[in-house]
Structure 1
């Protein structure tokens, strides 16, 4: 009996460290994207699958898409407050809350979403994440390919926006529409088609794939073919959820919260956007307009006040706006993502 007891103790002693480190946990991930479209299928889902695989199944991620657990603008607070463990956030849906990050929304700055994702991740980690999103863990940055202006009639220069109601991608684009004399109609992405079909909006700034994702090809069949803007979503994690993980599981999460992973998740969305653009260009019912050099210059000039407004908003929070702006421009150039 004594020998059996000693042997059993030895077995338990050997097994104890493995038991302590092999923590199993289930995380709830919420997003507002329909489950079948590319931001989910080519970005969020593969990331979650990789986390589960890399943890040898210790980490299970249950995904709740399409605003099942809350409206799109609420997703930052849902993760911050622990309603969910992980959430997919468009910072531009909450105007004024993340003034440093809003620089990524200024049009005509980036022309590559994959390199841009890595650039934004590195820049924000060094220049604003702790100040603005320090109450969550930022996992990855997820922009679409540079989006375009999609309209019902030809618009190739800034004055064409005047008098039109436009659904903007985010708060900065809403301000741009206002500067151009248009009326911003601010609704989350899943509600855009309804706004267009009811006549509440006549144009939209959207990525190319969204023309098919949200069935908009008949609503806005005219497209301005230039890298108009980025909307860079972020995946964030509740800090208590992260801190409660074992060191082994934290390491898995850390390995998936990197600029490289931002590039990986952006690549799938980029590929789908470019495929959608080619499909649109092959559709005789769609019209593509390429602005002239003079028109591009006019668009850039029209957007210049947005930089001044951004600087003022960031300076009001006590930050060095000029240094942050130069760091962003430098990182885009370094990564080959500047426009």
Structure 2
């Protein structure tokens, strides 16, 4: 369902008390809406007996640009937004730990559950100005390139690569490549026109953006490792949330947090192999680097962790304790990954 109508159904609309707007930057067919936001909204509408309805605005149809989404929900322009934490640098320093390549497990489900373990603890301070419904990740970033087959770190040197976050910038620099920051909807045109040589993105985003028709090469690392991940936020305006009756707030709470983290993680993990198969069917080449080929990348990415720890120290944040807590949480949930432990978090 898009902005053309309400999620709720004809029968439930008679009891409708609240309509919540949801704004995000991807298309209505993308995984975030089709597999997460819509089922989540429908479950709340059903549980509330139709008292809560939702109107979803994909592709920034409420106006503004993707980096403005956090401000829109904070200020009440939209009731709910789905956005990338990295679009507002410096606002979420604690949650940034899950972007680091040494933390993410390679499974969205595992990392999502790990994030939930810390939401009421060290991550809470990042979200004091909004009501967080879910903080989550995707399954991890593969490297998609147009004209270069990246089989070694030397192959990546000098390439202009789209960066998803500050830590992504550091990763790209550590590879000897050139980071280029831009919102994800701008990536296909930039790659088609040669402004970018490639991008860090999961395969599930590469499908609606048609990147598997533009990029001819796709690289992922050994042992389930990807090139880090991106952390997302589904958040509600705090005043709007507090204005709801207690029973409706309880319904939203019951369908958010861990329950939504599990649903979102399973949806993201399920779509990756399907899109990879579609890319191969188009004649694209997917490189699964072995441990020897991957080692120079992983060694270089340790610089990312060191830079993040140094920045946390400057902010007065105990980055080492936060990093240890994040890795421990990921390890604790790793057996829940499809097929067992995916990757490592050393």
So what's the TM-score if we normalise by structure 2?
Answer: 0.87
Identify if the C-alpha distance between structure 1 residues 281 and 225 changes in structure 2 by more than 3 Å, giving closer, same or farther. farther
- Matched residue, 2:92: 98
Q: Shift of the alpha carbon at 1:206? A: 0.8
Secondary structure of the structure 2 residue equivalent to 1:311: helix
Aligned pairs (5 A) from 1:1-339: 24-69=17-62, 70-109=64-103, 110-129=105-124, 131-151=125-145, 152-226=147-221, 227-228=225-226, 229-283=228-282, 285-336=283-334, 339=344
Identify if the C-alpha distance between structure 1 residues 133 and 338 changes in structure 2 by more than 3 Å, giving closer, same or farther. farther
Instruction: Determine if contact 1:138/1:236 at 8 Å carries over to the other structure.
Output: yes
Give the 4+ runs in structure 1 shifted more than 6 A: none
For 2:262 and 2:194, locate their aligned partners in 1 and report how far apart those are by CA, in whole Å: 37
Tell me how large the CA RMSD over aligned residues is: 1.7
1:215-255 residue CA offsets vs partner (Å, 9 max, x unmatched): 12232111113331211211001110111010110101111
For 1:146 and 1:193, locate their aligned partners in 2 and report how far apart those are by CA, in whole Å: 19
Instruction: Determine if contact 1:43/1:266 at 8 Å carries over to the other structure.
Output: no
Instruction: Determine if contact 2:190/2:196 at 8 Å carries over to the other structure.
Output: yes
Q: Shift of the alpha carbon at 1:123? A: 2.2
State the aligned residue count. Answer: 316
- Matched residue, 2:6: none
Q: Shift of the alpha carbon at 1:338? A: 5.6
- Matched residue, 1:5: none
Q: Shift of the alpha carbon at 1:58? A: 0.8
1:132-160 residue CA offsets vs partner (Å, 9 max, x unmatched): 11111111133222220111211122232
Bigger Rg, which one: 1
For 2:135 and 2:52, locate their aligned partners in 1 and report how far apart those are by CA, in whole Å: 21
For 2:182 and 2:276, locate their aligned partners in 1 and report how far apart those are by CA, in whole Å: 23
Q: Shift of the alpha carbon at 1:117? A: 1.0
Q: Shift of the alpha carbon at 1:281? A: 2.9
The farther-off stretch of 167-176 and 320-329 is 167-176
So what's the TM-score if we normalise by structure 1?
Answer: 0.88
Secondary structure of the structure 1 residue equivalent to 2:219: strand
